[in-house]
């Protein structure tokens, strides 16, 4: 039942793995250091990723078409990229807008205090939604990297949320009016590059969506590292997004706690949490891309980039096999039952039980023995250790 | 315009300050230490708080009526407490249920894996909602302190959220059926006493409310310290709750970053954030109680309890006066304008502007000069320093 | 080379596993909840641990002899415990003093502002050092749980460090004067139960030791969870303590980042870090006890206590086998070399190279090609992924 | 006694304020964004800072002389800078080496696995020590920004500490051999740009110094933000460095908890901690530069740079005046005494008291009443609130 050493864990397009062009293309520029790697041609990225067994890519407009490119060059670049997609069989599964690199966005984009910047940000996004639709992307991600502040004096947050909502509503209006088959996915992040970013967690973004004009068109693209930066349980967060029907896309990577955004390769930080995340995605039928948003370490050379990209997929496949084995293990099933896990799916009120009946049920309160219930076995430690054994391959 | 040293900052009931009975009544028991203070009679707490200028109190059922008290004694305790309320003129502005101290709740209450525990938790809450209504409380808080887990194996999170929703729906049904004038306020917390608590932040709780049967009856009771524990900007969080129309109640205190729940007195940790929080509450017309949920330091004796309670109110009044002076200062108004803060309230799209018109506006994109916009002054540092000057009293 | 599923991972006394009596004896009292488990007789703890394969125990004076016990009862309890040690073959490998539970220590012990408290704390410790020596313990741990503050106004830190040093110097003087074969191990912790604790990390405690009268008698007892609470790399911290010759004792457990002190069972949180910690301890010849300082989850009943204690030892043994296999794997050895890991042990200056020679070596600077060196392969991602494969059992 | 609004808080050279050239010269390049400000000529920086009332500057070699500059141009740049120093009356009070920006240092400098890189780093530093001495700097800072790792597999930490020690020993040998009047100051940081940096906190660096060949020549340059990133109490850390006689230099700035390195202007984050830090420095006679290592917000234009630099100095002066008023206030003195703060400076053992006398003092233990001591007043809340009142200007 346990995966054996002979299993290959070799990815194929059926695994639906995808990578941002900016991930393998990251040149290693960080707040204290210059680039360590040469620029990577998007077409070369496609080819390499296809060879490694990936299924698709995602990108910011500026990853493919540098900021300020004229119309003719834009068309040439897009055409060349489409040809490479056709040649490699790769798909553009997601697209997004870069609203954070250029100085114009230094104080925000959709929620910049400056109205001209906001209009420019909207227009930059609208035009790239057309490109996304043209390339067949089904998800358009919005990460508001600079929608935030370092000073509570300088940002009127309710007004900022109004402007963010106005922006997303406008994008939805555009998609509807053009008849695109495209949904939006908001990507929460608590901070960096701004001191505090609006919609900092999965929860805040989910709540925000409910105040939009077309909540049904908007979901989430949560990132493992971003939730970890807020010290939150990643699996809990993804589960709440699933529960709300809003897990439209995912960013898989690794992060060691509350510090700068590390974007480590998937599985490289909290391995146990990665196991339970894969288990959640596979077990709950998440149907979207298995999308990696990581940065190969700045110290690596170009060869190291592909080693780390391949490792992301391998680790996912290993954990997927382990999750399957975990679910299938009779000892685990018994331990889950002993811990009462399946019992939580039984509603608290009986079938058809009225409030009056609940209030009248003496066994629920008057005759209930809380002392005995306080002494009951919960069997959590045993269940958790079984998971550890499965992860370690010693179950 | 600046508050002068002669201003007294003495609270009166008109300031709507309230305290949890468990705050001044905390005996100082912590994970590594025994109680340092004697139990405090709730009636004595009322009297002391009334003397200090507070307006009201809040409490958990068990704060007033110890777990397991029989019916006759319960009635006696409630009657005695009502008499003290009448005598002191204090109000019970909020009530809540203790679903975390007794061992029966060791694995959760509304989302315990054990169904019997869930039914018991519901019944314990339902009966105390009756008491809350009887005492005239307008807000009923639900803090799910043990609704969570330390092991991702042992809690099916989507099922847990179903059960939490079922519980809140049941409570709402009860309030409706009885015709009580009572709203619910969920209190998010990321962790402690459980490793990870469900609905860990303001955002997660706001999102959860939208999936309830009666979202209009349910809002939030966010706590300064709890948001700080997740490294989130407290003012941003409260502002999003206000924006969503969900700031039903508040817990004011202090916390130094991501560590155990400190419950320091209000203002004792991040003073600048406390200033901006008071500014937000006062400026945006928050109408509820100014409620303190803090713990006088364990090292203090009984006299220190009242010193710290008085200090919470004093600091709030000082900051309120400063916030008023800040808003009224012409130099600040000029600095806000220079930073473009009021401009954020101007919609990004013009009055009646259609999407087509936005797309056709060359000034918004084709003729826009992002380089010039990237060089513009934002004037944040100056504005923020003015705030510091106001806080320090050197403006 | 990889451990097989048939390997038993059953501990024996030769593995030198030990547990604090307070770990398995924790009753589950936390800041928000009452005890969930009955008190555990220390003798029963000994017997259970012996059965499970442990080698020894550690304890605070008050774990064995409740605070305030009279002399006669103290002797009876010690005698009974010694008999159980003899019967079970277990050893008391470490002892420590409880200077944090009783209210007398509410504002500190060795560094309390109150001098009477300081003298009492010294005397309480001195008498129990005699007991430690009598029972054959070789390490005496000092955790200054309440040596700290919540207010920078209320603690003169340089004076506090003077008092801490005075206390440790006094304890050393006592051990020397009595001729005991006993060393001290300081246990750093950043916070909880105090807002900030003095000597908050491995580094601060190592530095403090150098200002003592007998630095050679004093080392560290670092805890996995405590370093994690400060967001520090646990393996780096233990390695610096080893490098300084100061790793006298260890506390193994688990912790999820910067939050309340979780004391999870060993391996239950950051599994990859646990692997590298075991590798460090085993590879660098750490000779002390493999000592667990964890808390079985409060939700567990008595049976769960022993499940979790056994799991701590099992996980250590699994990781030890994996660390051995990792070091022995030729592919790993090649990858370590490719990453230049062994090269770091070659001094930067050549054998006998003078400063003048270094300054005159043109190949080191004038003729050095930093651009080429900036492009070199570092092979970290590959090496790290190999470690992951070993942990997952798919190498 | 309280500073009045008419007090000017205008800095003069006597205040010993200094700034890193890289602070006001930061162009706003961050991990997600391009530069927002033009390069700043070091000479222009000097002139501006002199006008604002600063006393001196510090810099990395590469701030003044770009990496790779030839010898002749280097001389020209230095000569021009010296002339500007003479003209403005500013001093170069500290110098340091950039061992982190160029790709050659991508895997570390003094502790890079690659020996050639280590030799290059040594030589780059040695030559700039000569420049520091020539310019009259008295402190040479060593921040090991890339001395660390993201993988526990890829760095042998004990070997790395050996190499770091070898490097610092070599630098000390050079200073001695040349007869320079120069001391070294290590700057700890927990992470960023590496996942984990060696010598992550004040404590770790202090401990490391004790294993050097010339510990007397090496001290610390702690940074407010760096200690905050580890969730540690800044004042406690600086106090331990002072206590160890190792506070050679300081980096003043602001940081909101555990997240990316913010380098906010001094006082902009935790204002209360900034007050107590200034109180510590002024009260304990810290004699070095009041040195700011901050980054004007990326969103600011050039004018905003000088606004923020001036604000750093203003806030320091305001807090200095408040600290003086705090110490002089009779109410505060009474409150300090009531909290027992001065009593901590009284040794625990009496003058000449032997260990035997301590052990024989029944009043210290046998006749001591811990219950009464457990009930004593500690008066911390009152003292802390008085500090808040002083900070707020309402004392």
For C321-378, the pLDDT digits (tens) are 999 999 999 999 999 999 999 999 999 999 999 999 999 999 999 999 999 999 999 9
Q: How far apart are CA A142 and CA A122, in angstroms?
A: 11
Distance from CA of C254 to the nearest CA of D (A): 17
CB atoms < 10 A from the CB of D192, how many? Answer: 24
Q: Does the active-site annotation cover D63?
A: yes
Residue D55, helix vs strand vs coil: coil
Residue C51 burial (CB < 10 Å; 0-12/13-18/19+)? exposed
- Tell which of D110, D173, D203, D367 to mutate to test the C interface (max C CBs under 10 Å): D203
Distance from CA of C25 to the nearest CA of D (A): 25
Say what the pLDDT of residue A5 is. Answer: 46
For A235-275, the pLDDT digits (tens) are 999 999 999 999 999 999 999 999 999 999 999 999 999 99
Distance of CA D174 to the CA centre of its chain: 24
Interface of D with C in 267-306 (CB under 8 A): 272-273, 276, 284
Mean pLDDT per 10-residue interval, chain C, length 395 residues: 62 98 98 98 98 98 97 97 98 98 98 98 98 98 96 98 98 98 98 98 98 98 98 98 98 98 98 98 95 98 98 98 98 98 98 98 98 98 98 97
Comparing CB atoms, the residue among C100, C256, C298 nearest residue B33 is C100
For C112-155, the pLDDT digits (tens) are 999 999 999 999 999 999 999 999 999 999 999 999 999 999 99
Which residues of D are less than 8 Å from A311 in CB distance? none
Q: How far apart are CA B108 and CA B159, in angstroms?
A: 13
Contact (CB<8Å) D304/B9: no
Residue D353 burial (CB < 10 Å; 0-12/13-18/19+)? middle
Q: Give yes or no for A169 touching B (CB within 8 A).
A: no
H-helix segments, chain B: 21-24, 42-52, 61-64, 71-88, 115-134, 157-178, 202-209, 224-229, 234-243, 271-283, 302-328, 330-338, 355-360, 370-375, 380-392
**E strands, chain D, in order:** 17-20, 56-60, 91-96, 139-143, 148-149, 183-187, 196-197, 218-220, 290-292
Q: How far apart are CA B180 and CA C43, in angstroms?
A: 56
Q: How far apart are CA A7 and CA A3, in angstroms?
A: 7
Say what the pLDDT of residue C6 is. Answer: 52
Contact (CB<8Å) C376/A303: no
User: Sorting pLDDT into bands at 50, 70 and 90, what band is D6?
Assistant: low
Please report, for residues A336, C114, D230, D369, the alpha-carbon distance to residue C224 in angstroms, rounded to integers and kept in the order given.
29, 32, 15, 37
Comparing CB atoms, the residue among C5, C9, C36 nearest residue A374 is C36
User: Sorting pLDDT into bands at 50, 70 and 90, what band is D37?
Assistant: very high
Which residues of C are less than 8 Å from B229 in CB distance? 259
Q: How far apart are CA C294 and CA A343, in angstroms?
A: 29
Q: Which of C48, C60, C226, C291 is catalytic?
A: C60
Q: How far apart are CA D248 and CA C155, in angstroms?
A: 23
For B221-278, the pLDDT digits (tens) are 999 999 999 999 999 999 999 999 999 999 999 999 999 999 999 999 999 999 999 9
- pLDDT higher than threshold 90 for residue D324: yes
Please answer whether residues D246 and D209 qualify as being in contact, where contact means their C-beta atoms are separated by less than 8 angstroms.
yes
- pLDDT higher than threshold 90 for residue B4: no
DSSP B345: G
Distance from CA of D104 to the nearest CA of C (A): 4
DSSP per position, D176-200: HHHT---EEEEE--SSSSSSEESS-
Comparing CB atoms, the residue among B107, B193, B258 nearest residue C258 is B258
Say what the pLDDT of residue B3 is. Answer: 44
Say what the pLDDT of residue D330 is. Answer: 98
∠ Cα B371 B374 B375 (to 5°): 95
Q: Does the active-site annotation cover C86?
A: no
DSSP B244: T
- Compute the average pLDDT of residues B4-26: 89
Say what the pLDDT of residue A6 is. Answer: 52
Please report, for residues B233, C30, C185, D238, the alpha-carbon distance to residue C230 in angstroms, rounded to integers and kept in the order given.
20, 21, 20, 17
- pLDDT higher than threshold 80 for residue D33: yes
Which residues of B are less than 8 Å from C258 in CB distance? 257-259
User: Sorting pLDDT into bands at 50, 70 and 90, what band is D2?
Assistant: very low
A193: cis peptide before it, omega within 30°? Answer: yes
Which residues of D are less than 8 Å from A191 in CB distance? 259-260
Q: Which of B48, B61, B62, B63 is catalytic?
A: B63
Q: How far apart are CA D344 and CA C149, in angstroms?
A: 13
Residue bearing tokens 């391949």: A310
For B58-99, the pLDDT digits (tens) are 999 999 999 999 999 999 999 999 999 999 999 999 999 999
Q: In this structure, what token pair is assigned to residue C16?
A: 């030198």
Who's near A149: CB < 8 A, 6+ residues apart? A155, A194, A195, A196, B380
Q: How far apart are CA C229 and CA C226, in angstroms?
A: 5
DSSP per position, D340-386: TTGGGGS-SSPTT--HHHHHH-GGGTTT--HHHHHT----HHHHHHH
Q: How far apart are CA B43 and CA B49, in angstroms?
A: 10
Chain B residue with the nearest C-alpha to that of C231: B258
Q: How far apart are CA A267 and CA B154, in angstroms?
A: 21
- Tell which of C299, C300, C307, C308 to mutate to test the B interface (max B CBs under 10 Å): C299
Q: Give yes or no for A20 touching D (CB within 8 A).
A: no
Interface of D with A in 183-202 (CB under 8 A): 190-193, 195-196
B193: cis peptide before it, omega within 30°? Answer: yes
Please answer whether residues B155 and B113 qualify as being in contact, where contact means their C-beta atoms are separated by less than 8 angstroms.
yes
- Compute the average pLDDT of residues B207-219: 98
Residue bearing tokens 């994996």: C322
For D230-286, the pLDDT digits (tens) are 999 999 999 999 999 999 999 999 999 999 999 999 999 999 999 999 999 999 989
Distance from CA of A79 to the nearest CA of B (A): 22
Distance from CA of A368 to the nearest CA of B (A): 7
Chain B residue with the nearest C-alpha to that of D37: B375
Q: Which residues in chain A show pLDDT less than 50?
A: 1-5
- Compute the average pLDDT of residues B347-367: 98
């Amino acid at each position: 039942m346990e995966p054996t050493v002979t299993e290959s864990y070799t990815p194929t397009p059926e695994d639906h793995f995808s990578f941002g062009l900016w991930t393998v293309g990251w040149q290693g520029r960080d707040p204290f250091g210059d680039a360590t790697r040469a620029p990577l041609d998007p077409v070369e990225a496609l080819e390499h990723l296809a060879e490694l067994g990936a299924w698709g890519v995602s990108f910011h407009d500026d990853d493919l078409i540098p900021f300020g490119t004229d119309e003719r060059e834009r068309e040439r670049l897009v055409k060349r990229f489409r040809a490479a997609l056709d040649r490699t069989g790769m798909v553009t599964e997601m697209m997004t807008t870069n609203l954070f690199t250029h100085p114009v966005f230094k104080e925000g984009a959709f929620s910049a205090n400056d109205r001209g910047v906001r209009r420019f940000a909207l227009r930059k996004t609208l035009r790239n939604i057309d490109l996304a639709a043209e390339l067949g992307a089904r998800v358009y991600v919005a990460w508001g990297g600079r929608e935030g502040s370092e000073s509570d004096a300088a940002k009127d947050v309710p007004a900022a949320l109004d402007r963010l909502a106005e922006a997303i509503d406008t994008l939805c209006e555009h998609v509807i009016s053009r008849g695109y088959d495209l949904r939006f996915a908001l990507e929460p992040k608590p901070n960096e590059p701004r001191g505090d970013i609006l919609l900092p967690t999965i929860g805040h973004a989910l709540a925000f969506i409910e105040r939009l004009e077309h909540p049904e068109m908007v979901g989430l693209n949560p990132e493992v590292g971003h939730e970890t930066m807020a010290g939150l349980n990643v699996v809990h967060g993804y589960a709440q997004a699933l529960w709300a029907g809003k897990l439209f896309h995912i960013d898989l990577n690794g992060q060691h706690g509350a510090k700068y955004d590390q974007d480590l390769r998937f599985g490289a930080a909290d391995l146990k949490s990665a196991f339970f995340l894969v288990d959640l995605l596979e077990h709950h039928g998440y149907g979207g891309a298995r999308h990696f948003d990581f940065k190969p370490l700045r110290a690596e050379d170009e060869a190291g980039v592909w080693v780390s990209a391949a490792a992301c997929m391998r680790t996912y496949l290993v954990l997927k096999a382990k999750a399957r084995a975990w679910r299938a293990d009779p000892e685990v099933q018994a331990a889950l039952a002993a811990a009462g896990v399946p019992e939580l799916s039984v509603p608290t009120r009986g079938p058809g039980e009225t409030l009056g009946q609940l209030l009248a049920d003496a066994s629920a309160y008057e005759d209930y023995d809380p002392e005995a219930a306080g002494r009951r076995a919960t069997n959590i430690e045993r269940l958790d250790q079984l998971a550890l054994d499965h992860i370690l391959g010693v179950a």
